[in-house]
Structure 1
Amino acid sequence: MSESQPTLMCRLEELKCHFTWGLQEKDADIEELEERLNCQLEYLNVDAKGRVYNMLAYVNHMKNDYTEAIVNLQKAEGILWEYKVLETDVKYLLTFSNYAWLHYYLNDSESSQLYIDKINAIYTQSKGLEDLVQSETNGEQGWALVNFCGQYYERAKDCFEEAVKGNPDDPEWNTGLATVVYRLEEFRGRNCPAFKSVSFQLLERAVKLNPKDSVIKVLLALKLQELKRQEEAMKHIMDALELTPDLPYVLRYVAKFYRRAGKFEEAIRVLTKALSMTPNSGFLHHQLGLCYRQMIIQRKGTGNGNCRGQDTQEIKDLTEKAIFHFEKVVELKKTFLHAHFDLADMYVRSNQYQKAEETYKKATELTTTTKYEKQITHLNYGKFLETWKKSEGEAVEQYKEGLRIPDQNEYRQQCEMSLRRIANQRLARNPSDASGIAWLGMISKENQD
């Protein structure tokens, strides 16, 4: 006889899987995530695909497509069978846990309980190996968080750290930790020196433990490039290309390496090759847009890339290409905030101010941005309104929105400084200006001064 629903739910909530890791639909663009996961299935090694099938099953659940969800879990399970992994191995924990949840949603309590029993059998078989079991579940949670959305990177880092504690020499968990710490260095405009100081050591260790992983090699190359160790960096680039010359995930970082070295033509060649394989990659379109924009700056030779007054055909062509690719990014990755900023910037450079304003408005309406990112958005939009639209009143409203967000950082300070500057300018013209006095009062109130 199957257990009562409340008891079954208690057991399900104890499982370690996508259904219990707090993966919220509101935090990600589900369509873009599904596209990305299907792309990974095409190019990743077979042993990594089981993880992707599990994530896809969870995405199917979010879309209420339980038939396809079960099919994806069967594919994940099939990979373990292919490698002749015993059913009592910890590698089955993730898939069996997701099975249990899916059958619960299908109102099949007996099947759900059956998988819970299989999970309990794995734990019984693994007595004395608790650290390895915990390492497995922490590591899988880390990868799930990384793949779901960028907002979960901090949590992913914590999971990988715990996974490495339980199994210090596991290549997968070390690679995961190195990858997420590297991404967190300047994630979404933040500058985190604490991560920069440890990412090199983590990347170096990950490469040592997993010398056949070409993606982690190119990340190490990018880090070496930052450290001005060009010869070592190029060696890792060449090694990665020799291992996987046609892997889009390698090519995208190789292109980034060339772009940062100022080799724009080479970067564009590599990106174009990668884009032919993964045409819906927002990352690749973004990198191409950055290449064309930097080429404009280089051609201009002014250091600021201001296009006003420049009508050469070459500049026009580069501008059109940059806009095209940034528009594609915003279309493909609707939640990519900084792509909105880059697109708006190119609209400004080409005197398309209405389109620039529309793009900034869309950025303010994104629901996946953090409070910190909202501050950046209000600041950038405010600067545009003040500088290009010449609308001081609208700019003030954006600076005020940024100031109201209590996170203390440089962007909040810039919102305050801009608002204070405008208020003081008004008061300099008229010491009794009510708006100027009110804005200074608001600053004091928000700062609890």
Structure 2
Amino acid sequence: MMIIQQAFEDIILTGDIFKYLSFLFHISADQSQTTLRSKLEALQCHFTWILEPSKINLVLHRDKLLEIGTEEGNSWLGHIYNLRGFIQCKLGSTEDALSFFLQAAEAFGQMRRAGEGPWLVVNYGNLAWLHHLLGHQAESEAYLSKVDALKKKYPTPSEDELHAELYAEKAWTLMILDIERELVSDYFQKAIKMQPDMVEWNTSHVIGLASNFVRGSTKMEADILDKMRDAKEQDPENLYLAACDIQIRAMKGQDVADEARELAERVSINPVSSYSQMRAILRVYRTCRLIDEAILLAAKAVENNPDQRYLKKFAALTLKWKIVFSNYSGVDERMVDRAVILHKEVISLYPDSALAEEMDLANIYAKSKRRQDEAKHLFQQLLERKLEPAEKQVLYKHYAKHLLFDLKDYNKSIEYNMKAAKIPINSLYRESSIKALVKIKNKGRSPKCREIEEFLENLQKP
């Protein structure tokens, strides 16, 4: 402010009218930019919901959304395109981002059977942000005006509330990105309360609850099966929902093997357009300990659709399960060789997002008596690689388990659990490392108990 005041006084003293006009122009432009920025930051859209996404998560979800598919009739098609546009923008592909945002608007029009509506508020907000980032301020302001017009045409009961369409898209987006999980259920419930006839919202809400349950949350344990049953009655053709239901009942000890096989038959009819369903049914097979059948199911899908890389990823995963779940003395080396070949192929197919498969490959090596050196070498390569904090956290947790179960190096395993827990990112891997450390401390047998106790006391929350 002092600098501006001094500049103004200098202009007045010199009497330079051109400098004066230029000064006023720049002040006006700065104020205009500040106003535009504040309007953008007040929008409800992906650019304000997801403030600091890591590159690796963007890449992982880019690939995931690509493989979910965009068949006609997908009730989340507009939301998929919106999220893909945001991800492409953050990855630097602004032309692709614009294309996806425009496809999102078209998809919403087809799904809602109307040209405009509150479902476009997020889309227009994304477009306003994109044009602003590209330096197209007039276009950005035009989309801001469209957002204002929609909000006036479709008002909410109070300024503190969002429209049901916004709650639903925000919930779905956070669920897909696996962030702020505690808010997902709340947003879905608000959307459903406002528009209870939207079946897909209720289905996704229940799928989110099921996912939390599978991960170990007990908050919804008492009524999760009731909610699942009600959702299936409303959405009986949703195979992913059916798979979630079977998995939860399997985890509760019910015999669901025949149901799993029957569902697998339905999914196998068209696995290319059933990314989520195929992944879900394979998880059911794993829960039911039908690993051999999972291997056959995935292998058949690959055989019938050899160009689908995600099916090869699933096939590789089933082989890993077979090897990791085997006793050390019972590992079939031919199975190991087969798994190694397939994992290497999958890694080549996902050059930007194959860290999980590389860790799986290292673990497969570790289970083979004749591939110990390869396990050591690959883990060392991964540990020396320049990774983002979120990737390091995952790697450290996996390496801690390798040290514990394969090498019996208890002290070093503790060290890497500490490394994983120390990274201030909320995740299952951090939670798992902390639980492992607490368990060791409570047993009181490790010489590192005091060190662990001090570490946990000083551990910072993310």
Tell me which interval the TM-score lies in, with the shorter structure as reference length. Answer: 0.7 to 0.9
The alignment-based identity, stated in percent, is 18
Say if 2:69 is the partner of 1:41: yes
1:177 partner amino acid: H
How far apart, CA to CA, are the structure 1 residues paired with 2:192 and 2:439? 40
Q: Which residue of 1 aligns with 2:308?
A: 279
Say if 2:385 is the partner of 1:356: no
> Residues 360 and 85 of structure 1: is their aligned pair in 2 closer, same or farther, counting only changes over 3 Å?
same
How far apart, CA to CA, are the structure 2 residues paired with 1:20 and 1:261? 41
How far has the Cα of 1:381 moved from its partner?
4.5
Contact 1:252 1:270 in 2 (8 A): no
> Residues 196 and 378 of structure 1: is their aligned pair in 2 closer, same or farther, counting only changes over 3 Å?
farther
Matched ranges for 1:32-431 at <5 A: 32-43=60-71, 45-82=73-110, 85-127=113-155, 134-148=163-177, 150-187=178-215, 191-227=216-252, 228=254, 230=256, 233-234=259-260, 237=263, 241=267, 247-249=273-275, 250-275=277-302, 276=305, 279-281=308-310, 284-285=311-312, 287-293=314-320, 295=322, 304-307=326-329, 315-327=332-344, 332=350, 342-351=360-369, 352-361=371-380, 362=382, 367=388, 369=390, 376-377=397-398, 379-383=400-404, 386-387=407-408, 394=412, 397-398=415-416, 401=419, 409-416=434-441, 421=445, 423=447
Contact 1:181 1:195 in 2 (8 A): yes
2:416 partner amino acid: Q
> Residues 177 and 20 of structure 1: is their aligned pair in 2 closer, same or farther, counting only changes over 3 Å?
same
2:455 partner amino acid: E
Contact 1:217 1:236 in 2 (8 A): no
Task: List per-residue Cα deviations over 1:375-424 (Å, max 9, x = no partner).
Answer: 7446325426852xx6x775564365468689794311245479x6453x
Contact 1:142 1:156 in 2 (8 A): yes
Q: Which moved more, 1:316-325 or 1:263-272?
A: 263-272
> Residues 139 and 23 of structure 1: is their aligned pair in 2 closer, same or farther, counting only changes over 3 Å?
farther
Task: List per-residue Cα deviations over 1:251-296 (Å, max 9, x = no partner).
Answer: 3333333444444454234323544277332xx5564345335555
Task: List per-residue Cα deviations over 1:163-204 (Å, max 9, x = no partner).
Answer: 2343344222212222222222344xxx22224444333333
How far apart, CA to CA, are the structure 1 residues paired with 2:251 and 2:317? 18
How far apart, CA to CA, are the structure 2 residues paired with 1:416 and 1:378? 20
How far has the Cα of 1:35 moved from its partner?
2.5
Contact 1:402 1:412 in 2 (8 A): no
Contact 2:414 2:437 in 1 (8 A): no
Q: Which residue of 1 aligns with 2:8?
A: none
Contact 1:337 1:363 in 2 (8 A): no
How far apart, CA to CA, are the structure 2 residues paired with 1:295 and 1:378? 20
Q: Which residue of 2 aligns with 1:426?
A: none
- In the alignment of these two chains, the number of paired residues is 414
Q: Secondary structure at the match of 1:140?
A: helix
How far apart, CA to CA, are the structure 1 residues paired with 2:290 and 2:257? 16
Q: Secondary structure at the match of 1:193?
A: coil
> Residues 359 and 53 of structure 1: is their aligned pair in 2 closer, same or farther, counting only changes over 3 Å?
same
> Residues 88 and 416 of structure 1: is their aligned pair in 2 closer, same or farther, counting only changes over 3 Å?
same
Contact 1:376 1:411 in 2 (8 A): no
2:404 partner amino acid: K
Task: List per-residue Cα deviations over 1:193-216 (Å, max 9, x = no partner).
Answer: 224444333333332222332322
2:297 partner amino acid: V
How far apart, CA to CA, are the structure 2 residues paired with 1:263 and 1:393? 35
Gaps of 5+ in 1: 298-302, 424-438
1:446 partner amino acid: F
Contact 1:171 1:210 in 2 (8 A): yes
What TM-score do the two structures reach when normalised by structure 1? 0.75
Contact 2:320 2:360 in 1 (8 A): no
Q: Which residue of 2 aligns with 1:434?
A: none
Gaps of 5+ in 2: 1-27, 424-429
Q: Which moved more, 1:398-407 or 1:267-276?
A: 398-407
> Residues 209 and 240 of structure 1: is their aligned pair in 2 closer, same or farther, counting only changes over 3 Å?
farther
Q: Secondary structure at the match of 2:329?
A: coil
1:225 partner amino acid: A
How far apart, CA to CA, are the structure 1 residues paired with 2:168 and 2:107? 19
> Residues 446 and 128 of structure 1: is their aligned pair in 2 closer, same or farther, counting only changes over 3 Å?
closer
